[in-house]
Amino acid sequence: SQQGEEDPQALSIQEGENATMNCSYKTSINNLQWYRQNSGRGLVHLILIRSNEREKHSGRLRVTLDTSKKSSSLLITASRAADTASYFCATDADQGAQKLVFGQGTRLTINP
Amino acid sequence: DSGVTQTPKHLITATGQRVTLRCSPRSGDLSVYWYQQSLDQGLQFLIQYYNGEERAKGNILERFSAQQFPDLHSELNLSSLELGDSALYFCASTPGGGAEAFFGQGTRLTVV
Per-residue pLDDT of chain B (112 residues; tens, 9 = 90+): 889 999 999 999 999 999 999 999 999 999 999 999 997 678 899 999 999 999 989 889 999 999 999 999 999 999 999 999 999 999 999 987 678 899 999 999 999 9
Mode of pairing for the β-strands spanning A71-76 and A61-66: antiparallel
Quote the pLDDT of residue A100: 85
Mode of pairing for the β-strands spanning A31-37 and A19-24: unpaired
A101 interaction partners in chain B (CB closer than 8 Å): 45, 58
The secondary structure of A6-63 as a DSSP string is EE-SEEEEETTS-EEEEEE-SS--SEEEEEEE-TTS-EEEEEEEETT-SEEEETTEEE
Residues A80-92: what's their mean pLDDT? 94
Min Cα distance B55 → chain A (Å) is: 6
Tell me if B98 and A2 make a contact (CB, 8 A cut-off): no
B45 closest CA partner among A103, A109, A24:
A103
**Is the link from the previous residue into A8 a cis peptide, with omega within 30 of 0?**
yes
Quote the pLDDT of residue A93: 65
B98 closest CA partner among B48, B37, B23:
B48
B92 contacts: CB under 8 Å, gap ≥ 6: A43, A100, B4, B32, B33, B35, B101, B102, B103, B104
Interface test with B, best of A38, A88, A99 (most B CBs within 10 A): A99
Question: Does residue A88 sit in helix, strand or coil?
Answer: strand
Quote the pLDDT of residue A1: 43
Do B9 and B72 meet the contact criterion of CB atoms below 8 Å apart? no
Res. A26: pLDDT tops 60: yes
Quote the pLDDT of residue B66: 97
Min Cα distance A43 → chain B (Å) is: 6
Distance CA B90, CA B23 (A): 9
Quote the pLDDT of residue A103: 85
Quote the pLDDT of residue A14: 97
A44 interaction partners in chain B (CB closer than 8 Å): 2, 103
The secondary element (H helix, E strand) that includes residue B74 is strand B74-78
Res. A51: pLDDT tops 60: yes
Min Cα distance B22 → chain A (Å) is: 15
B64 closest CA partner among B91, B96, B34:
B34
